[in-house]
Structure 1
Amino acid sequence: MVTVTWATGVSLLQVVAATGCGLVAGLLFVFSAGVLTALGRLPADDGAVAMRAVNAAVLNPLFLGVFVGTAVVCAVLVVAVAVGGGPVTAAVAGVLYLVGVLGVTVAVNVPLNEALAAGRVGWADYRRRWGRWNHVRTTAATVALVLLVAA
């Protein structure tokens, strides 16, 4: 018979959160490491058109399920550690994902995507600002993953 304890629940949440953080960190890293550079080598109008296409295509159930699902699991993990105990580093990781990945996305990257789509921001400015904040998201997701694995 398998007994599920509070600690087992936290451990399971850690595994699921770590998996999600790893997937998100990898995707964000690809943008920081290559995609933005590649798009920056295109003529400005072509780069902007390509990025708008990427922004539209990424809004799909697979990506949103992992991205938002990881945020939900991280939030539940934070509450589980606060209420029932568990590794504090796991709760810190959850907060880091919520603030450094989800929060930055909602506060900075999505509004920049909307501004690009509406023509309210130039390609060079968009790429510089979006890229800088994507580095923050990449770092936050990666550090959250490391903390979850270490916990």
Structure 2
Amino acid sequence: MQFTPQHYFVLKLFSALGCGLVAGVFFAFSTFVMNALARLQPKEGMTAMQSINITAINPLFMGIFVGTAVTCIFIAGASLLNWYPSKSAYLLIGSLFYLVGAFGVTILFNVPLNEALAIADPDSANGASLWANYLANWTVWNHVRTISAILASAAITIALYE
């Protein structure tokens, strides 16, 4: 199968939509989900977030989250191989925002926090302390992911029209 301009357009479109969809999920957590969990008693908030973290690992969400990273790798590479000044710059910048700021931050910061939360005992004093730290740190990194995914979606969308 030969890689055609139509295939490339579909990859760019999927990337823009994927970045936007992921940004929406992250935005929801940044603007109200984490605030709602913080209003609960530590045991209840931890238990709810532990459940969210388990159910988030599903084929549909992970397919979009990881699939967008894969398409961003392809369009970043293609933009470097076929450089067109403004279009390629938007594609490369958008891809990097997603790969580093959304996907990379998730792997380096949010996932380790989730793993620590997963083994914490919600009934313990240590669990309550971990929860308070988790809320602050996880949310800060989620803001980074949100902004990065929004900027990625915007840059790749602009490249569709250049």
The two structures have a TM-score, normalised by structure 2, of 0.86
Match of 2:33 in 1: 35
Equivalent residue number for residue 118 of structure 1:
119
Aligned ranges for residues 2-151 of structure 1 at < 5 Å?
5-6=4-5, 8-86=6-84, 87=87, 88-119=89-120, 122-151=130-159
**C-alpha offsets along residues 28-49 of structure 1, whole Å, 9 cap, x if unaligned?**
0000010000000100010000
- Number of residue pairs the alignment of both structures matches: 147
Q: Distance in 2 between matches of 1:81 and 1:150?
A: 14
1:49 and 1:115 map into 2 onto residues whose CA distance is 13
The letter of the residue matching 1:123 is W
The superposition leaves residues 40-83 of structure 1 with CA deviations (integer Å, 9 ceiling, x where unpaired) of 01000100000000000000000000000000000000011111
* Uncovered stretches (5+) of structure 1, i.e. residues with no partner: none
Unpaired runs of at least 5, structure 2? 121-126
Letter in 2 for 1:60: N
Structure 1 match to 2:123: none
Separation in 1, partners of 2:10, 2:114: 34
On the 8 A contact 1:39/1:51 being kept in 2, the answer is yes
Q: 2 CA distance for matches of 1:12 and 1:54? A: 31
**Alpha-carbon distance between aligned partners in 2 of 1:136 and 1:83, rounded to the nearest angstrom:** 29
Q: Which moved more, 1:41-50 or 1:113-122?
A: 113-122
RMSD: 1.5
Deviation at 1:125, TM superposition (A): 0.5
Deviation at 1:84, TM superposition (A): 2.1
